[in-house]
Chain A
Amino acid sequence: MAGAGGGGCPAGGNDLQWCFSQVKGAVDEDVAEADIISTVEFNYSGDLLATGDKGGRVVIFQREQENKSRPHSRGEYNVYSTFQSHEPEFDYLKSLEIEEKINKIRWLPQQNAAHFLLSTNDKTIKLWKISERDKRAEGYNLKDEDGRLRDPFRITALRVPKLKPMDLMVEASPRRIFANAHTYHINSISVNSDHETYLSADDLRINLWHLEITDRSFNIVDIKPVNMEELTEVITAAEFHPHQCNVFVYSSSKGTVRLCDMRSSALCDRHSKFFEEPEDPSSRSFFSEIISSISDVKFSHSGRYMMTRDYLSVKVWDLNMESRPVETHQVHEYLRSKLCSLYENDCIFDKFECCWSGSDSAIMTGSYNNFFRMFDRNTRRDVTLEASRENSKPRASLKPRKVCTGGKRKKDEISVDSLDFNKKILHTAWHPAENIIAVAATNNLYIFQDKVN
Chain B
Amino acid sequence: MMLSKGLKRKREEEQEKETLAADAWWLDPSLPAAAQAPPAAASSSLFDLSVLKLHHSLRQGEPDLRHLVLVVNTLRRIQASMAPEPTLPPVPSPPAAPCVADSLLASSDAALSASMASLLEDLSHIEGLSQAPQPLVDEGPPGRPTGGSPASLGALDLLGPATGCLLDDELEGLFEDIDTSMYDSELWAPVSEGLKPGPEDGPGKEEALELDEAELDYLLDVLVGTQALERPPGPGR
Q: Are A293 and B145 in contact (CB under 8 A)?
A: no
Is there a chain A Cβ closer than 8 Å to B132's Cβ? yes
Q: For the complex, is B162 an interface residue (Cβ under 8 Å from A)?
A: no
Interface residues of A in 315-356 (CB under 8 A from B): 337-341, 343-347, 349
Interface residues of B in 122-144 (CB under 8 A from A): 123-124, 126-127, 129-132, 134-135, 137, 141-144
Q: Return the CB mask of B49-84 against A: 1 if under 8 Å, else 0.
A: 100010000000110111101101110011001000
Smallest beta-carbon distance A90→chain B, Å: 11
B49 is contacted by which of A227, A289, A339, A344 (Cβ under 8 Å)? Answer: A344
CB–CB B143/A231 < 8 A: no
Contact A234 B74 (CB under 8 A): no
Contacts A218-B145, A422-B3; is A286 near B13 (CB within 8 Å)?
no
Closest to A416 in B: B16
Residue contact A234 to B65, C-beta cutoff 8 Å: yes
Query: What's the minimum C-beta distance from A288 to chain B, rounded to whole angstroms?
Result: 8
| Contacting pair B65 A184 (CB below 8 A) | yes
Q: In the complex the two chains form, is B74's CB within 8 Å of A287's CB?
A: yes
Q: A266 contacts B15, CB within 8 Å?
A: no
Q: Taking the complex as formed, is B116 at the interface, i.e. its CB lies under 8 A from any CB of chain A? A: yes
Known A216-B135, A218-B141, A418-B8: A285·B64 in contact at CB below 8 Å: no
Contacts of B147 in A (CB 8 A): 216
When the two chains form their complex, are residues B61 and A208 in contact, meaning their CB atoms are under 8 A apart?
Answer: no
Cβ–Cβ < 8 Å partners of B69 in chain A: 231-234, 253
Q: Please tell me if the beta carbons of B146 and A340 are within 8 angstroms of each other in the complex.
A: no
A246, closest chain B residue (CB):
B142
Known: A180-B132, A340-B23, A344-B15. A229 touches B66 (CB 8 A): no
Q: How far is the CB of B199 from chain A (nearest CB, A)?
A: 12
A217 to B24: give the CA distance in the assembly, Å: 49
Q: Which of A93, A234, A343 is close to B66, meaning CB atoms less than 8 Å apart?
A: A234
> Contact partner of A349 among B67, B73, B134, CB < 8 A?
B67
Q: A219 — which chain B residues lie within 8 A by C-beta?
A: 143-146
Partner of A286, one of B20, B26, B120: B26
What residue in chain A is nearest B64 (Cβ atoms)? Answer: A185
- B146, A218: Cβ atoms closer than 8 Å: yes
B145 surroundings in chain A (CB, below 8 A): 216, 218-219
A236 close to B (CB within 8 Å):
yes
Query: Is the Cβ of B124 less than 8 Å from the Cβ of A228?
Result: yes
Give the number of chain A interface residues (Cβ < 8 Å).
66
CB within 8 A of A422: which of B4, B72, B73, B129? Answer: B4
* Selected interface stretch from A37-45, A68-76, A94-102, A107-115: A94-102
Query: Are A229 and B77 within 8 A (Cβ)?
Result: no
Given that A185-B65, A208-B142 are contacting pairs, would A228 and B19 also be in contact in the complex, using a CB cutoff of 8 Å? no
Shortest Cβ distance from residue B64 to the other chain A in the assembled complex, whole angstroms: 7
Other-chain residue from A94, A262, A422 in contact with B126 (beta carbon distance below 8 A): A94
Name which of A216, A233, A338 has the most chain B CB atoms within 10 A of its CB.
A216
Q: Given A31-B3, A94-B62, A267 and B23 touching (CB < 8 A)?
A: no
Of A266, A286, A339, the residue contacting B142 (CB under 8 A) is A266
Please determine whether B120 and A229 come into contact, CB atoms closer than 8 angstroms. yes
Given contacts A218-B142, A228-B123, A341-B15, contact A289 B46 (CB under 8 A): no
Q: Given known contacts A216-B145, A422-B3, is B117 in contact with A229 (CB within 8 Å)?
A: yes
Look across to chain A and name the residue whose beta carbon is closest to the beta carbon of B24: A337
CA distance A29 to B8 in the complex (A): 16
Alpha-carbon distance between A35 and B143 when the two chains are bound, in angstroms? 39
Residues of A within 8 A of B78 (CB): 286
| Interface residue tally for chain B (C-beta within 8 Å) | 59
Q: Is A204 an interface residue (CB 8 A)?
A: yes
Q: Which residues of A contact B16 (CB under 8 A)?
A: 338, 340-341, 417
Complexed CA–CA distance, A287 and B132 (Å): 37
Contact A337 B143 (CB under 8 A): no
B178 within 8 A of A: no
The answer to whether the Cβ of A203 comes within 8 Å of any Cβ in the partner chain is: yes
> In chain A, what residue has the closest Cβ to B47?
A286
A420 near B61 with CB under 8 A, answer: no
Scoring A residues 204 to 220 as 1 if CB is less than 8 Å from chain B, else 0, what string do you get? Answer: 10011000000111111
Q: Give the docked Cα–Cα distance between A290 and B126 (Å).
A: 27
Q: What's the minimum C-beta distance from A231 to chain B, rounded to whole angstroms?
A: 6
Question: When the two chains form the complex, which single residue of A222, A293, A442 contacts B70, counting CB atoms closer than 8 Å?
Answer: A293
CA distance A30 to B49 in the complex (A): 30
Q: Name which residue of chain B comes closest to A220, CB basis.
A: B143
Does B12 reach chain A (CB closer than 8 Å)? yes
Contacting residues, chain B, for A151 (C-beta < 8 A) = none
Q: B49's closest neighbor in chain A, by CB?
A: A344
**Chain A contacts of B144 at CB under 8 A?**
218-219, 222, 266-267
For the complex, is A196 an interface residue (Cβ under 8 Å from B)?
no
Residue of B with least CB distance to A31: B3
Does A181 interact with chain B (Cβ within 8 Å)?
A: yes
In the assembled complex, which residues on chain B have CB atoms less than 8 Å from the CB atom of A180?
Answer: 132, 134
Residues of A near B3 (CB, < 8 A) are: 31, 33, 36, 422, 442
A173-188: which have CB < 8 Å to B?
A: 180-181, 183-185
Give the contacting residue for A220; candidates B22, B27, B132, B142; CB below 8 A: B142
Question: Does A283 interact with chain B (Cβ within 8 Å)?
Answer: yes
Asked whether A290 lies within 8 Å of B70 as measured between CB atoms, the reply is yes
**Cβ < 8 Å to A, chain B residues 1-43:** 1, 3-8, 12-13, 15-16, 19-20, 22-24, 26-27, 29
Could you pull out 18 A-B pairs where Cβ atoms are within 8 angstroms?
A208-B142, A208-B143, A216-B135, A216-B145, A217-B146, A218-B145, A219-B146, A220-B143, A228-B120, A231-B69, A234-B65, A267-B144, A284-B26, A290-B70, A337-B20, A345-B12, A419-B8, A442-B3
Report, nearest first, the 8 A-B pairs whose CB atoms are least far apart.
Answer: A218-B143, A340-B19, A228-B120, A266-B142, A228-B124, A285-B26, A203-B65, A180-B132
Interface residues of A (CB under 8 A from B): 29, 31, 33, 36, 91, 93-97, 180-181, 183-185, 203-204, 207-208, 215-220, 222, 226-229, 231-234, 236, 253, 262, 266-268, 283-287, 289-290, 293, 337-341, 343-347, 349, 417-422, 442
13 further interface pairs, Cβ-Cβ under 8 Å (given A36-B3, A185-B62)? A94-B126, A215-B135, A219-B145, A231-B69, A232-B69, A234-B66, A283-B27, A285-B27, A289-B74, A346-B67, A349-B66, A417-B12, A442-B3
